[in-house]
């Protein structure tokens, strides 16, 4: 943006709007720098240009030869599940009875999909762990198969557009605290299959709304600031596929059609409602 255009925009804003605007522009600048130069390790950050970045996972964007001379065609399927409804108790935050039913229904739905799970990962927050354990029982999988990941807990992944009702300062602090961690989660779990992978793989991630919304947009190379425009029900299923070419397709977003309408929820049942649940 040219300086003259910037100051024309500034002149039309109130003081409060100006603070919000400049804060978001600062965030945009930080992310542009990340995209241009990486973090010193050759890694790429969020993309806002709208043009597909073929080398997003730093692998060659074409089918690669495996040992037998044939081209690898293995897909990586990543299925993300939001935890069930929860509430805060004197003993911490735990699933409600409805949240447990939601997790059971989600587990049954995943079982009906008849997939061979290679890995199951859950956030270390209690509501995600409880949801994952209920799902594992429905899938007849050993609880020891599940790994707990400290990168997946809920947080503020990116400055939202439109922004939340929080003050610009608290928004900035939340993003500085959580953003790098959640971006690291993306880099840990999202990449195309290696040339040596012979069969499709299935990764199940049980986590949180903010994190899942951000991961979806990052994987699709859509503006990550738009995560506040998406909504995910408790226990919903999101399915992305990473192709050998590096392209990513979204098979379903927040699917909860397998639940009765009376059991659909997306916020914590508390007078103090917020986006970060």
* End-to-end CA, the chain: 35
Phi, psi for residue 97 in degrees, rounded to 5: -60, -40
Distance CA 89, CA 91 (A): 5
The answer to the question of whether 25 is labelled as a binding residue is: no
Cβ-contact 57, 192 below 8 angstroms: yes
Beta partners for 88?
93
Query: Residue 254 contacts by C-beta under 8 Å, 6 or more apart in sequence?
Result: 82, 230, 231, 232, 233, 236, 237, 238
Cβ-contact 272, 80 below 8 angstroms: no
User: 182-217 burial by CB neighbour count: b if 16+ within 10 A, else e?
Assistant: bbebbbebbbbbebebeeebbbbbbbbbbbbbbbbb
Distance CA 19, CA 169 (A): 9
Binding-site entries for substrate: 127
Binding-site entries: 127
């Amino acid at each position: 943006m040219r300086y003259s255009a910037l100051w024309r925009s500034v002149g039309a804003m109130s003081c409060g709007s100006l603070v919000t605007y400049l804060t978001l522009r600062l965030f945009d600048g930080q992310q542009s720098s990340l995209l241009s130069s990486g973090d010193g390790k050759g890694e790429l950050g969020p993309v806002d240009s709208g043009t597909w970045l073929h080398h997003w996972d730093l692998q060659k964007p074409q089918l690669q030869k495996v040992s037998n001379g044939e081209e690898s065609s293995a897909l990586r399927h990543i299925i993300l599940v939001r935890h069930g409804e929860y509430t805060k108790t004197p003993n911490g935050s735990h699933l409600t009875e409805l949240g447990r039913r939601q997790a059971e229904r989600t587990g049954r739905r995943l079982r009906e999909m008849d997939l061979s799970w290679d890995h199951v990962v859950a956030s270390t927050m209690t509501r995600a762990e409880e949801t994952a354990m209920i799902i594992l029982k429905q899938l007849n999988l050993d609880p020891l198969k599940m790994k707990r990941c400290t990168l997946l807990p809920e947080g503020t992944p990116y400055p939202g557009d439109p922004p939340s009702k929080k003050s610009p300062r608290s928004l900035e602090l939340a993003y500085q605290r959580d953003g790098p961690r959640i971006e690291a989660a993306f880099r840990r779990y999202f990449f195309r299959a290696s040339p040596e992978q012979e069969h499709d793989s299935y990764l199940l991630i049980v986590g949180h709304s903010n994190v899942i919304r951000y991961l979806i947009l990052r994987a699709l190379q859509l503006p990550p600031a738009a995560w506040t425009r998406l909504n995910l029900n408790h226990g919903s299923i999101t399915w992305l596929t990473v192709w050998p070419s590096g392209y990513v397709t979204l098979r379903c977003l927040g699917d909860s059609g397998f639940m009765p309408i009376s059991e659909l929820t997306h916020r914590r049942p508390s007078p103090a409602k917020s986006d970060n649940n």
